[in-house]
Every structure is written in C-alpha cells, then in structure tokens.
Chains A and B, each alone.
Chain A
Amino acid sequence: GAVVSQHPSWVICKSGTSVKIECRSLDFQATTMFWYRQFPKQSLMLMATSNEGSKATYEQGVEKDKFLINHASLTLSTLTVTSAHPEDSSFYICSPSGPTGYGYTFGSGTRLTVV
C-alpha cells in the first residue's frame, strides 16, 4: 500500500503560537490531500481538501485563515495551525489520494496539545 509520513507525531505548544504539520507521500503522487481532525472517541472530521498547486477547499465551520494548508508538490502538503488555542487540541491526520482514489491511506497523525 501507499506509504505516508506525517510529522511531528505529537507536539505541545503555548497558546498563541503556530504549529506546522507535514505530510509526505513517499511512494506515489498525491494529487489530492485530505486533512482531518479527530476528537477523542469521535469519527474523522474532514477539515479541508486540497489539490496540488491549487487552493484548499475548506469545510463549513473551518477557518481558512487559522488552518493554513499548502500543497505545493505531489509529495508534500502542510497544515499550519496559527494562533493556536486550547480548543485546537486534537488529533490531526492527513490522507493523500492518488489518481485511482482507492484505499485511502492515512498519515500516522499528529497529537496537538495547546497549553
């Protein structure tokens, strides 16, 4: 299956700071990247979808100026949580998708804790 690398796996930051999360597809070209947020004991909540070289499409209720997504290449996408607040604490997971769209693969996830 596809190999996806996501970093960091966990991060603790102070309120008001920014955190960047990287997601790399190592063995295929990710034309599309899904970014999810998962709160404890809940399902995956789609935050945004990006296609390589274009702006991300954000889901309703997700602030695009707060969650900056960059998908500059077919192997790398980043999510930056700006001016983080405690309520942003969550598990963030990327999921790159190739042309076939089958077997959605997930990054290892990033546990963000804002104190």
Chain B
Amino acid sequence: GENVEQHPSTLSVQEGDSAVIKCTYSDSASNYFPWYKQELGKRPQLIIDIRSNVGEKKDQRIAVTLNKTAKHFSLHITETQPEDSAVYFCAASQSGGSYIPTFGRGTSLIVHP
C-alpha cells in the first residue's frame, strides 16, 4: 500500500517568513495530492491540491510542487501570517471515488507575530 512521510512534524517561523513542508510517497500509481489545514478542534480543510500531470500549482501565498520521479511533493507558504498557524496534512491517493487517501502525520506550523 501507499506510505506517506511528512516532515517536519513541527515548524516555527516568524511572521513574514516562508514555510515549507515536504512529503514523500511510495506508490507510483498515486496521482492526486491534496493538502489540508486543520485548526484546533475543527475539520481538515482542503487548501490546495495537485494532480500528477502538473509540476507546480500556486494560489496566492500558497504553492505546491510535485516531483513524480522522486515521489515527493511540497507545500510552500510565503509571507506567513499568525492565522496560518495550524496543523497541515499532506495526502496521496489515486483518483476515483473509492481510492483511499493516505495521510501524512501532519506538521504543526506556528507563526510568531
């Protein structure tokens, strides 16, 4: 089955700095890679995703890159703000309704004002 490794487990940055979270996956059949933000006590919220036919995707301060050959993908947050503080999860899956996503262990991002 799929195995997703996520690093770091904790990331502390100053407001305005950039934050990078990295994930690796093992199953070359995986072709969909979403990223989620989860605030304390709330549901995970999809913030950005990327499919295997794309190498990079950007949405304002958030970007995701994918290296299929190396089987790794990364989340980049620029100009971090205190409200970016949360736990971020990466996931990998195959497209299709019954394919089960495999989640990383999560990264606790702390943005200091």
Interface, chain A (partner B; CB < 8 A): 1, 31-32, 34, 41-44, 46, 49, 51, 91, 93, 97-109, 111
Known: A34-B100, A42-B106. A101 touches B46 (CB 8 A): no
Name the segment of B13-21, B58-66, B87-95 touching the other chain.
B87-95
How near does chain A come to B109, taking the closest CB pair, in angstroms? Answer: 13
Report the Cα distance A42→B107, complex, angstroms: 10
Report the Cα distance A91→B42, complex, angstroms: 10
Q: B113 on the interface (CB 8 Å rule)? A: no
Chain B residues whose C-beta falls within 8 Å of the C-beta of A103 in the assembled complex: 34, 46, 49
Chain B residues whose C-beta falls within 8 Å of the C-beta of A101 in the assembled complex: 32, 93-99
Q: Which of B91, B93, B100 has the most CB of A within 10 A?
A: B100
Report the Cα distance A46→B106, complex, angstroms: 15
Report the Cα distance A104→B38, complex, angstroms: 14
